[in-house]
Structure 1
Amino acid sequence: MNKLLLITSFLLLTGSLAAQKNRSLFNGKDLTGWTIHGTEKWYVDGGELVCESGPDKEYGYLSTNEKYKNFELTLRFKQEANGNSGVFFRSSIEGVKITGWQVEVAPLNGHTGGIYESYGRAWLIKPAPEDEQWLKPGKWNILKIKAIDDEVTTWLNGHKMINLKDDKIGRGEGFIALQIHSGGGIKVRWKKIRIKLKS
């Protein structure tokens, strides 16, 4: 009986730890667990997270309250109107000046899946021209980002977009953030934002 109790406790603990390492970052109801930076619009509509240009037409960010180092992040996005946006990782922010690395989310041929270093070295790597076709404008797309130490790999709709090893990224720390680009007329929907922590 004691042995059975021990096995049950172990299985419950293992399941609990697994759930902590693989969880949703967006609850589909509100912005719990996130912080808004800037005056652009972030809201929930029909279980989807929406970013939309506000009257100031400036940069805006929605960052996680927690920091993440090594992870595999998957999410779905749909671009409406001009979809210039992105997913930052290992980032920090002051006002709306963000420091870190952005996996681009842009209109067709805008290098979605490439990596841009904000307030630093600018573009680090862009997808090959023939891989730009994997974006589905106006439809739901699946983006996956895997960041382990100094190596980052991205996939768009199941197709590998880039793989980069970079010492500076390896030393980076910080949160994950969704971006809305400046300029106005931008609207992007997000859903099924899940993270799997890696050691």
Structure 2
Amino acid sequence: MQRFLFALFLPLLFVMAAPTKKITLFNGKDLTGWKIYGTEKWYVDNGELICESGPDKQYGYLATEAFYKNFDLSVQFKQEANGNSGVFFRSTIDGTRISGWQVEVAPKDHDTGGIYESYGRGWLEQIPAEKETILKPGEWNTLRIRVEGDHVQTYLNGKPMVDMRDAKIGAANGSIALQIHDGGGIKVRWRKLILKEL
């Protein structure tokens, strides 16, 4: 009887122990799997993904073609010039109007790691002054975003930044999107965009 029960539950044990699926969102060569919104510049240089303001100096987005609802995303960024950008999650885009939530990527003292809802409630979580020293301007930084159900957590260079729950976020679904803020003069480098589906 014990052998029978073991044989019955063994496949379930393998399913439960299966490793989390990892997805490399950026292949280091081209923009396969992504879609450009707007007229700003998105290109690959030396294995890095670059976002840069164009002559129109408007908002621009680069979004995954696939939707990701529950995930743990790690991405490295390096700000050059004005680094006002961000990583959107559970987002949908029409033209250059985006619906979703942004994890801020911005110059020092401008809430990198905070959560902003575009065309909605605005700031949901800003960063306290004592955490503004975690950002390393002009160097590579690692941003981690974990979203499961209505629970959102962000980390910058291994330090916790935001831990919040929100029913509206919990009900949404959409793509991952990188942003170029309007105003011009923006350039940010991105690399190692690795997503684990939860």
Q: TM-score under structure 1 normalisation?
A: 0.90
| 1:59-91 Cα shifts (integer Å, max 9, x gaps) | 000000000000000000000000000000000
**Once the 2 structures are TM-superposed, how far is the Cα of residue 93 of structure 1 from its aligned partner?**
0.6
Listed as ranges, the gaps of 5+ residues in structure 1 are: 1-9
- Paired with 1:45 and 1:130, the residues of 2 have a C-alpha distance of 34
Alignment partner of 2:168: what SS? helix
**Once the 2 structures are TM-superposed, how far is the Cα of residue 107 of structure 1 from its aligned partner?**
0.1
Across the aligned residues of Structure 1 and Structure 2, the Cα RMSD in angstroms comes to 1.4
- Paired with 2:35 and 2:162, the residues of 1 have a C-alpha distance of 29
Q: Does 1:182 align with 2:174?
A: no
**Once the 2 structures are TM-superposed, how far is the Cα of residue 18 of structure 1 from its aligned partner?**
4.3
Alignment partner of 1:130: what SS? helix
Report the residue type matching 1:158 in the other structure: G
- Paired with 1:82 and 1:22, the residues of 2 have a C-alpha distance of 31
Listed as ranges, the gaps of 5+ residues in structure 2 are: 1-10
**Once the 2 structures are TM-superposed, how far is the Cα of residue 127 of structure 1 from its aligned partner?**
1.6
2:105 corresponds to which residue?
105
Alignment partner of 1:67: what SS? coil
1:58 corresponds to which residue?
58
Matches within 5 A, 1:22-41: 22-41=22-41
**Once the 2 structures are TM-superposed, how far is the Cα of residue 41 of structure 1 from its aligned partner?**
0.1
- Paired with 1:85 and 1:164, the residues of 2 have a C-alpha distance of 21
Moved beyond 2 Å, runs of 4+? none
**Once the 2 structures are TM-superposed, how far is the Cα of residue 148 of structure 1 from its aligned partner?**
0.5
1:118 corresponds to which residue?
118
**Once the 2 structures are TM-superposed, how far is the Cα of residue 101 of structure 1 from its aligned partner?**
0.2
Q: TM-score under structure 2 normalisation?
A: 0.90
2:128 corresponds to which residue?
128
Report the residue type matching 2:187 in the other structure: K
- Paired with 1:127 and 1:182, the residues of 2 have a C-alpha distance of 22
Matches within 5 A, 1:83-98: 83-98=83-98
1:75 corresponds to which residue?
75
- Paired with 2:162 and 2:25, the residues of 1 have a C-alpha distance of 24
Q: Does 1:148 align with 2:141?
A: no
| 1:112-134 Cα shifts (integer Å, max 9, x gaps) | 00000010000000122101110
Report the residue type matching 1:196 in the other structure: K
- Paired with 1:81 and 1:113, the residues of 2 have a C-alpha distance of 19
Alignment partner of 1:164: what SS? strand
1:167 corresponds to which residue?
167
Report the residue type matching 2:178 in the other structure: L
1:4 corresponds to which residue?
none
Number of residue pairs matched?
184
- Paired with 2:25 and 2:128, the residues of 1 have a C-alpha distance of 30
